[in-house]
Amino acid sequence: MLDDSPRINDLNDLRAYVQGRLCEINELEVDAFVMTERILVRGGRPCGLYFCLHGPRAVKFTAIWETDRNTVLFYSPTGERVDRTRLAMSPSLVPLAA
């Protein structure tokens, strides 16, 4: 599985990958919609990022990057998991948490 994993060197690479994959899964044009993100915190420490692509007609497509498993989980607007990607490398959340 790691052979097919995308190479993510930093948070900008992660953002671009998540946005591109959400657009691919949902047949949307890349960069046509705004994507927001939030840091996820567990026990007072950052544990991942929540991404939300704000699509057409107020539809929201989401993904969560779990730092513990270094996995990105992709969800449909109804909350159903539609894809999962394990990353080969893990960017650091330290710049965001500071």
In a domain, 37, yes or no: yes
pLDDT tens per residue, range 8-56: 889 999 999 999 999 999 999 998 999 999 999 999 999 999 999 999 9
Which residues partner with 61 through β-bridges? 53
pLDDT of res. 41: 94
pLDDT higher than threshold 90 for residue 95: no
Fill in the DSSP letter of residue 15: H
More confident residue, 90 or 96: 90
Per the listing, tokens 């060197």 go with 9
Domain span including residue 7 = 2-91
55-60: which pairs have CB atoms within 8 A and are 24 or more residues apart? 55/26, 55/28, 56/28
In a domain, 96, yes or no: no
The amino acid present at 94, given as its one-letter code, is V
Residues 49, 64 contacting (CB under 8 angstroms): yes
Q: Report the chain's C-alpha Rg in angstroms.
A: 13
Residues 70, 47 contacting (CB under 8 angstroms): no
In a domain, 97, yes or no: no
pTM for this one? Answer: 0.87
Q: How many domains does the chain have?
A: 1
In a domain, 39, yes or no: yes
